[in-house]
Amino acid sequence: MARTPQDITDAELAVLNLLWERGRSTVRELTDVIYPGGSGSHYATVQKLLERLEGKACVKRDREPWPHEFESTIRREELIVRRLQATADKLCHGSLEPLLTQLVRNQTLSAEDRQSLRGLLDELDVEAKTSEK
Amino acid sequence: MARTPQDITDAELAVLNLLWERGRSTVRELTDVIYPGGSGSHYATVQKLLERLEGKACVKRDREPWPHEFESTIRREELIVRRLQATADKLCHGSLEPLLTQLVRNQTLSAEDRQSLRGLLDELDVEAKTSEK
DNA sequence: ATTCTATGAGACGCAATGTCTTTACGTCAA
DNA sequence: TTGACGTAAAGACATTGCGTCTCATAGAAT
C-alpha cells in the first residue's frame, strides 16, 4: 500500500491560517508572527512553506511589489470540504452522509437549530428540482 | 513546528476496514483479502499493522484460539468523530459547527441523504420532547 | 520427528517534512 | 557608485513516520 502524502501539512496550514486572518502579506510579516523573535533561518522556513503552498495552488505570489506579497487562493471553506471528502473517502466509501449523521448526533442542536437545518434542506430540495429539468 | 504523526495510517485503516466488515479474524484471513496471492512477507506486514493498531488501542487480540484472532475495539463512527474533530481543531479553532454548515451547503448531498437527515432531525425532536419533562 | 504455519522482535529503506545554508539579487543611503 | 542590508531562490540536511521485509523461535498437525 503506497503512502499518500498529506495535501496540506500542519506547518503549511499555520501559514495559510495567518494569510486568512491577515490577508495579503510579505514573508517577513508572516515570519514575525509565527516565530516571534525568530532567527534568520525561520524566515527561510516560512519562505519554503509558501513556495510549497504555491506549488499546491493554495497561494498566489505577487512579484510586482518589493518585497513580494502573498495571498491565499483557497478559502477556508474549500479546504474544510476537501478534508471532509477525504475523511468520507477513507471511512465511508465516499459518502458524506455518515459524517453528517455523526455531526448531528454529536452536537447538541437546539430546536431552532433543527428548524433552520430543515429550512436549508428544503432549499436544497428546491434547487435540485429546478435544476434537473 | 513539530511533526504530528497521523492517528491511524492508510495501511492500518485498510486492516480496520476489513475487521469492521468481517468481524473477528485471523492474520491469514485478513492477509488473503488485502494481498490476494500475496507472498509470505505480506503476512508479516499485516501482522505488524495489527500490532501497531493494538498499540493504539484500536484492536484487541484474543490469544486463546490458535491462530490468534483479532477484533476491532473502535467503531467506525468513533473514528469518524475523531477525524471530524481533528479537522475542526486545525481549521475552525475546534468548533464543529462550520463543518456542519459546509456539509449541508455542499450540493454533493443526494436527495436520499437529505431525507435520512430529516429523519434524524425528527428523532432528535422526539428525544428532546421526552427528556424535557 | 518432521513439516507446516504462526508468532514476535527487530532491521531496512524510502520518502515526507520541517529546518537550515548558501549564493545571488534588489533597494536604498552615503 | 559603492557598500550595507534585507530578500529571493535553490538546494542540502536531519529526523522519523510508515510500509515492508527477514529471521529466529514456537506451536500444531500428520
Residues B116 and B99 in one domain: yes
Render pLDDT for A115-127 as a digit per residue (tens, 0 to 9): 888 888 888 889 8
pLDDT in the model for residue B18:
96
pLDDT in the model for residue B6:
93
Burial A91-127 (b: 16+ CB within 10 A, else e): bbeebbbbbbbbbbeeeebeeebbeebbeebeebeee
Q: Provide the positions of strand C that have an atom within 7 A of a protein CB.
A: 5-11, 15-22, 26-27
pLDDT in the model for residue A111:
81
**More confident site: B62 or B111:** B62
Residues B17 and B67 in one domain: yes
| Beta strand spans in chain B (E) | 59-62, 69-72
Phi, psi of B97 (to 5 degrees): -60, -45
What is the average pLDDT value for chain A, to the nearest integer?
Answer: 92
Cα distance between residue B110 and residue B98, in whole Å: 20
Q: Is residue B18 part of a domain?
A: yes
Residues of chain A with pLDDT > 90, as a percent, come to: 71
Cα distance between residue B103 and residue B48, in whole Å: 36
Residues A88 and A124 in one domain: yes
Lowest mean pLDDT, pick from A62-76, A83-97, A104-118, B51-65: A104-118
Q: What is the CATH number of the domain that holds A59?
A: 1.10.10.10
- Could you list the residue range(s) of the whole structural domain that residue A89 is in? 76-131
Residues A64 and A110 in one domain: no
Q: Is residue A1 part of a domain?
A: no
* Contact status of B44 with chain A (Cβ, < 8 Å): no
Q: How far is CA B109 from CA A14, A22, B105, B125, in A?
A: 30, 33, 9, 22
Task: Compute the Cα dihedral for B86, B88, B91, B94 and give only its sign.
Answer: negative
Residue A129, pLDDT above cutoff 70? yes
Number of domains observed in the structure of chain B? 2
Render pLDDT for A66-75 as a digit per residue (tens, 0 to 9): 999 999 999 9
pLDDT in the model for residue B87:
97
Residues A83 and A66 in one domain: no
Render pLDDT for A40-79 as a digit per residue (tens, 0 to 9): 899 999 999 999 999 999 999 999 999 999 999 999 999 9
Residues A58 and A109 in one domain: no
Residue A92 grid coordinates: 465511508
Render pLDDT for B76-87 as a digit per residue (tens, 0 to 9): 999 999 999 999
Which residue's alpha carbon is at the shortest distance from the C1' of D7?
A67
Q: Is residue A120 part of a domain?
A: yes
Measured between beta carbons, the chain B residues lying within 8 angstroms of A113 are none
Using the 3D structure, point to which of B26, B41, B72 is the last residue of a domain.
B72
Residues A17 and A46 in one domain: yes
Sequential DSSP letters for A12-36 = HHHHHHHHHHH-SB-HHHHHHHHST
Determine contact, residues B10/A91, Cβ cutoff 8 Å. no
pLDDT in the model for residue B108:
73
Residue A76, CB, less than 7 Å from strand D?
A: no
Nucleotide nearest to B68 (CA to C1'): C6
What is the average pLDDT value for chain B, to the nearest integer?
Answer: 92
Residues B15 and B62 in one domain: yes
The residue of chain B with its CA nearest to that of A49 is B1
Shortest alpha-carbon distance between residue B55 and chain A (Å): 20
pLDDT in the model for residue A38:
80
Using the 3D structure, point to which of B72, B94, B112 is the last residue of a domain.
B72
Tell me the pLDDT band of B133, cut-offs 50, 70 and 90. Answer: low
Q: How many helices (H) and strands (E) does chain A have?
A: 6, 2
Q: Is residue A18 part of a domain?
A: yes
Residues B119 and B68 in one domain: no
Tell me the pLDDT band of B129, cut-offs 50, 70 and 90. Answer: confident
Residue B26, CB, less than 7 Å from strand D?
A: no
Render pLDDT for B90-117 as a digit per residue (tens, 0 to 9): 999 999 989 998 998 886 778 888 888 8
The residue of chain B with its CA nearest to that of A112 is B125
The radius of gyration of chain B's CA atoms, rounded to the nearest angstrom, is 20
Residue B44, CB, less than 7 Å from strand D?
A: yes
Q: Is residue B108 part of a domain?
A: yes
The residue of chain A with its CA nearest to that of B8 is A90
pLDDT in the model for residue A68:
96
Residues A28 and A63 in one domain: yes
Residues A56 and A102 in one domain: no
Q: What is the mean pLDDT of residues B54-75?
A: 96
Q: Is residue B83 part of a domain?
A: yes
Measured between beta carbons, the chain B residues lying within 8 angstroms of A118 are 118, 121
pLDDT in the model for residue B45:
96
Residues A17 and A67 in one domain: yes
User: Taking CB atoms and an 8 Å cut-off, how many pairs form between chains A and B?
Assistant: 123
Tell me the pLDDT band of A128, cut-offs 50, 70 and 90. Answer: confident
Using the 3D structure, point to which of B51, B72, B93 is the last residue of a domain.
B72
Cα distance between residue A7 and residue A9, in whole Å: 7
Q: Residue A108, Cα to own-chain centre: how many angstroms?
A: 25
At B4, which helix (H) or strand (E)?
A: none
Residue A108, pLDDT above cutoff 80? no
Picking from B20, B90, B131 by the largest number of A CB atoms within 10 A of its own CB, the best residue to mutate is B90
pLDDT in the model for residue A133:
55
Cα distance between residue A82 and residue B90, in whole Å: 13
Q: Is residue B34 part of a domain?
A: yes
Q: Is residue B1 part of a domain?
A: no
